[in-house]
Amino acid sequence: MKKTVISDWLDENGDPEIEKQVREELKYTQMATTRDDLLNYWLKKYHNTTVEEVVNTHSRDVLDYPEWFKLYPVTQEQCDEWEEWAKEELVRTNTISKWRIKNYGLGFIALDCAPYVKK
C-alpha cells in the first residue's frame, strides 16, 4: 500500500481499527502508479506484450541498456497518446500532483518509461 503522512503516523502511533476507519473514510484504495504500469500500457496496447514477457524473451545483455525500447517502436501519435494517458494516470493515483504535471510535465518519468518513437 502506498505510504502517506497519515499512514506513516498511524503505523507509528495509531490503533489498527482507527487506521481501518480512516482508510475507509478516505476511500484509500489506489496504489501509486509504478514504472511497470507505465511501460505495460504501451507494450500491451501497441505490441501485445508485457514487461514480464519482455524480460523472459530477451537476454540480460539486451535488457541492461535502454536500447531494448527500440525493439518495440511506436509512432509519434502513439507516444503522444501514451504521454496524455500517463499524466492522467499519475494524477488519478496521486503519484504526482496536477500542479506538478502542469508546470513540469513528466520530466524524468518520460525519459525512463516513454516508448521509442520510430523515425
Q: What does the pLDDT read at residue 55?
A: 87
Tens digit of each residue's pLDDT (9 = 90 or more) over 62-118: 787 878 899 999 999 999 999 999 998 888 887 778 888 888 888 888 888 899 999
DSSP 2: -
Q: What does the pLDDT read at residue 20?
A: 64
Kindly state the cell numbers that stand for 98. 496536477
* Per-residue CA distances from 73 to 57, 59, 79 (Å): 17, 19, 9
Q: What does the pLDDT read at residue 27?
A: 52
Q: What does the pLDDT read at residue 93?
A: 81
> Nearest Cα to 113, choosing from 31, 2, 37, 32?
37
Does the pLDDT at position 54 exceed 80?
A: yes
* Residue 119: pLDDT band with limits 50, 70, 90: confident
Tens digit of each residue's pLDDT (9 = 90 or more) over 5-50: 555 555 566 666 666 665 565 554 557 788 889 999 999 999 999 9
